[in-house]
C-alpha cells in the first residue's frame, strides 16, 4: 500500500465486501465532525415534520424541501442522481421528501455528504486561466496546422512524378 492509503487500525472487514476497510489519509468523520446522534440540517427538518401538528406541517415540509434542495445543490446531484447513489428509484426519493417520511439513516447520510462537499468545494478556474488555456490551445492548433501544411509541401517536392505536382 502507498503512503496515501492507510488501513483502518482495527483491520475490521468492510461490512458489504468483506475486505479490510481502507480509508484515505483523512477520514470524512475526522474532517467534518458531526454530533454523535447524527443530527444535521436534514435530520432536524425531518424531526420537525414528524413532530409538527396539522397547522405547522406545511411550514415544516417547506423547510424539509429547502434543506433537501440545498444538499442536492451542494453535491451537484439531481433527485435521480441521489436515488442512484442510494440505490433507490427517484420516485421513492420524491415521495419521501413530499410526504416527510424519509428514514433518518438516509437523511444522516445525505447530511454527511453535504457537509463534506461544503468543507471541500471543487477547485474553481478563474476567467483569466480559462482565457489563457484557450489561447494556448489555439496556438497549438495553429502550429500543428502549419506543420501539416509544410509536411505536405515537402512530400510534394520529394515526389516529382506525383499527380499533384
Concatenated DSSP letters for 89-153? -HHHHHHHHHHT---HHHHHHHHHHHHHHHHSPPP---HHHHHHHHHHHHHHHHHHHHHHHHHHH
Angle separating helix axes 104-119 and 57-75, nearest 10 degrees: 50
Question: Which parts of the chain sit beneath pLDDT 70?
Answer: 1-38, 125, 158-165
Q: What is the pTM of this model?
A: 0.54
pLDDT at 162: 60
Each residue of 100-111: pLDDT tens digit? 999 999 999 999
Q: Which residue has the cell 476567467?
A: 127
**pLDDT score at 24:** 42
pLDDT at 89: 92
Amino acid at each position: 500500500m502507498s503512503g496515501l492509503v492507510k488501513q483502518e487500525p482495527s483491520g475490521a472487514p468492510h461490512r458489504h465486501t468483506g475486505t479490510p476497510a481502507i480509508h484515505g489519509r483523512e477520514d470524512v468523520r475526522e474532517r467534518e465532525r458531526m454530533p454523535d446522534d447524527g443530527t444535521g440540517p436534514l435530520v432536524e427538518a425531518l424531526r420537525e415534520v414528524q413532530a409538527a401538528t396539522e397547522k405547522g406541517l406545511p411550514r415544516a415540509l417547506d423547510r424539509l424541501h429547502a434543506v433537501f434542495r440545498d444538499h442536492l445543490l451542494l453535491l451537484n446531484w439531481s433527485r435521480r442522481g441521489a436515488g442512484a447513489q442510494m440505490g433507490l428509484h427517484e420516485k421513492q426519493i420524491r415521495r419521501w421528501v413530499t410526504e416527510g417520511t424519509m428514514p433518518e439513516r438516509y437523511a444522516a447520510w445525505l447530511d454527511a455528504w453535504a457537509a463534506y462537499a461544503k468543507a471541500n468545494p471543487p477547485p474553481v478556474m478563474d476567467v483569466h486561466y480559462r482565457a489563457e488555456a484557450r489561447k494556448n490551445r489555439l496556438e497549438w492548433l495553429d502550429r500543428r496546422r502549419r506543420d501539416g501544411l509544410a509536411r505536405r509541401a515537402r512530400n510534394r517536392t520529394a515526389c516529382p512524378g506525383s499527380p499533384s505536382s
